[in-house]
């Protein structure tokens, strides 16, 4: 019997920032390829705006999800594992799943893996990873910037803020740039602990546009500028979650769970 051809499609939102891409998306894909050498690894990015920018600027064509599914079909792939690098089970992930399942009849099997924060165990591991990697010193407050979404999955950010504090990290705060908890809530809470310094870091897979501009930019409406105007000394750590080995290991475990599902 001819052996089935299997592939892992790694789906990311994407980034136009090459330096952070190499440290995050590329590293996630490399870790997956190294762990699962018997699988072909494909890439898809969901952001059309970023893909068009990369094509125009660098001449590099990155496939969207449907394009990647077409490519795998053309390459004779029989079974597909789709592993998103999305943080949440939110809008981007829902749209990705719709695109993938449109090709269900063209492959023998398709299994869609879980985004980063799917189970309570995932949440616990990410909280621990962030606390370990960015451990704020005495007199510092660590403020994390998540993206935020209109999707109901946005509730995870407030839950994580609670969990940091429940785990003893009273000086770690979680906010979002586009939803709740918003900046005004954050600064009220930070003032209550009266730190001498605020450390800002992105809670996103890549440290891209939001980290560079909304978080650490010199514009007056950036979080850095607003905390400085409030009288705090500010330090920025532009490290995407994809740079944390412990976070990449969560994605590897999600791929492993999909492989077990595939082999049932």
Q: Alpha helix (H) ranges present in the chain?
A: 18-23, 25-35, 48-58, 65-74, 91-101, 120-134, 155-166, 183-193, 209, 223-229, 245-262
Phi and psi at residue 73, to the nearest 5°: -60, -45
The answer to whether 233 touches 198, Cβ cutoff 8 Å, is yes
The answer to whether 11 and 85 have CB atoms below 8 angstroms apart is yes
- Burial string for 4-19 (b: 16+ CB within 10 Å, else e) reads eebbbbbbbbbbbbee
Q: Which residue has the tokens 């909280």?
A: 127
151 is an active site residue: no
Q: How far apart are CA 242 and CA 21, in angstroms?
A: 9
Q: Which helix (H) or strand (E) holds 34?
A: helix 25-35
User: Which of 123, 179, 120, 122 is CA-nearest to residue 147?
Assistant: 179
Burial class of 70 by CB neighbour count within 10 A (0 to 12, 13 to 18, 19+): middle
Catalytic-role residue among 86, 147, 210, 254: 147
Comparing C-alpha atoms, which of 2, 3, 8 is closest to residue 261?
8
In this structure, are residues 206 and 187 in contact, taking their beta carbons and an 8 Å threshold? no
Which tokens is 108 given?
């023998």
List active site positions: 147
């Amino acid at each position: 019997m001819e052996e089935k051809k299997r592939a892992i499609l790694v789906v990311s939102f994407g980034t136009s920032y090459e330096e952070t891409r190499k440290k995050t998306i590329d590293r996630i894909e490399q870790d997956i390829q190294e762990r699962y050498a018997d699988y072909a690894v494909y890439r898809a990015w969901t952001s059309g705006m970023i893909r068009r920018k990369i094509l125009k600027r660098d001449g590099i064509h990155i496939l969207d999800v449907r394009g990647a599914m077409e490519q795998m079909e053309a390459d004779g792939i029989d079974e597909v594992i789709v592993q998103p690098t999305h943080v949440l089970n939110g809008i981007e992930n829902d749209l990705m799943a719709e695109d993938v399942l449109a090709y269900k009849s063209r492959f023998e099997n398709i299994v869609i893996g879980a985004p980063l924060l799917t189970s309570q165990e995932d949440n616990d591991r990410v909280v621990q990873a962030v606390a370990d990697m960015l451990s704020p010193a005495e007199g510092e407050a660590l403020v994390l910037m998540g993206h935020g979404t209109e999707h109901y999955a946005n509730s995870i950010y407030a839950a994580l803020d609670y969990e940091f504090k429940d785990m003893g990290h009273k000086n770690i705060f979680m906010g979002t740039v586009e939803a709740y908890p918003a900046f005004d809530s954050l600064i009220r809470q930070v003032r209550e602990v009266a730190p001498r310094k605020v450390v800002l870091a992105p809670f996103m897979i890549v440290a891209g546009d939001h980290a560079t501009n909304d978080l650490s930019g010199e514009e007056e409406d950036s979080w850095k500028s607003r905390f400085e105007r409030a009288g705090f000394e500010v330090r920025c750590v532009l490290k995407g979650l994809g740079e944390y080995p412990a976070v990449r290991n969560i994605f590897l475990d999600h791929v492993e769970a999909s492989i077990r599902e595939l082999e049932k």
